[in-house]
Amino acid sequence: MPLSMMRNNEESVIAELRGTSELKKRLNDLGFVKGSKVKVIQGSKKGSIIVKVLDSKLVINLSVAQNIIVA
């Protein structure tokens, strides 16, 4: 399921990154690596969401979150 569909305070593991090679590289640089834990701090059905990955809290756009597949 895409990260964008997770609910607040839900935690999961990154299974796959989709999108262009530039997007995948950028996500990897931010800590979105296959096998890493990710937690939604504050979600939204439009706009952006706040997530915790590794030891960082990040705000990402929902269109980007659609490309992060979690299991």
Q: Which CATH fold would you assign to the domain 3-70?
A: SH3 type barrels. (2.30.30)
Q: What is the C-alpha separation between 54 and 58, in angstroms, rounded? A: 10
Around Cβ 17, how many Cβ atoms within 10 Å? 17
Query: What string of pLDDT tens digits covers the 71 residues of the chain?
Result: 999 999 999 999 999 999 999 999 999 999 999 999 999 999 988 899 999 999 999 999 999 999 999 99
Report yes or no on whether pTM surpasses 0.85: yes
